Structure 1
Amino acid sequence: MNIIIREAKPQDIPQIQIVRNSVKENQLSDPALVTDADCEEFLFVRGKGWVCEIDSEIRGFSIADLKENNIWALFVHPDFENLGIGRKLHDIMLDWYFEQTQQEVWLGTAPGTRAATFYRKSGWQENGTHGKEIRFEMTYAHWKNRKL
């Protein structure tokens, strides 16, 4: 299995949408809520994204938003979980984010999910809620110090 992590391109958006709508946790109540135009804006105007490609198919992606200092997305297709893809996408995204700014970054995820456990194990700190989700935060210092 040849796993490639690379920067997202505009032509990746249809496959990114397939992955986003395949997940079992943090599902969208209505897939139409996240449009291709939304993806394009977050990938190329507001921030940057990465994809994991296996055998020429996108199996995971991550997107950081510099405008709102937020992780907009980190998803792996359920058939490709537990291969370290989420970790690789997470780390490259946060390395890039903190090369752009030292502003802390936040994200929201549903309580009681594998994602919440992943973020805790990755050093994110819980700081209240964002709607019905747990709000997690990562500071520049915490990210840099954990990598020493």
Structure 2
Amino acid sequence: MSGIVFRRATVGDIEGMFRVRMAVLENQLSDPSRVTPAMCSKMLQEKGAGWVCEAEGEVVGFAIVDLSRSNIWALFVDPLFEKKGTGRELHDLMVTWSFDAGQSKLWLSTDPGTRAEAFYRKAGWVGTGIEQNGEIRFELNNPDSTIY
């Protein structure tokens, strides 16, 4: 795909991130007030980091990690860019950076029976239980960490 760029996210990308977040077909945000631009800004500037995929200068996917909780906070791709490796590249950039930053383990949760569940299992994440909200909890260990 020509014109595709992966890079670290900035607060200037938040509007594009929200456009992608509201366009997804699965794991739709039922209450947009639960995730605000201020929350995204705090994630990008204080608690972790994010990455975006741009196509012709427009955000078409993004990923955010919350290092304060060792948690994958977001990974979303515009439906027009699904199944093209966009999500996997964002995932790999985020996970590699997190482990390089010293995280020994990451976790996330997602609804069972979704494409997201299959995506994370294929990427090596291990289901470790069910959260109170019914989502599956997944964990991924840093292969370079020694865990006793």
Q: Scaled by the length of structure 1, what TM-score is found?
A: 0.93
Residue aligning to 1:10: 11
In the aligned structure 2, how far is the partner of 1:103 from the partner of 1:67? Answer: 13
Task: Write the mapping of 1:68-147 to structure 2, written as runs, cut at 5 A.
Answer: 68-130=69-131, 131-141=133-143
Residue aligning to 1:64: 65
In the aligned structure 1, how far is the partner of 2:4 from the partner of 2:87? Answer: 12
SS of residue in 2 equivalent to 1:102: coil
Pairwise CA distance, 1:2: 1.5
Pairwise CA distance, 1:105: 0.5
The number of residues matched between the two structures is 143
Q: Which runs of 4+ in 1 moved over 3 A?
A: none
Structure 2 unaligned spans of 5+? none
Structure 1 unaligned spans of 5+? none
Pairwise CA distance, 1:117: 0.2
| C-alpha contact 2:70 2:103 (8 A) present in aligned 1 | no
In the aligned structure 2, how far is the partner of 1:36 from the partner of 1:93? Answer: 20
Pairwise CA distance, 1:25: 0.9
Q: CA RMSD in A?
A: 1.2
Q: Scaled by the length of structure 2, what TM-score is found?
A: 0.93
SS of residue in 1 equivalent to 2:108: strand
SS of residue in 2 equivalent to 1:26: coil
> Whose helix fraction is larger, Structure 1's or Structure 2's?
1
In the aligned structure 2, how far is the partner of 1:27 from the partner of 1:68? Answer: 23
Residue aligning to 1:38: 39
- Identity across the alignment (%): 50
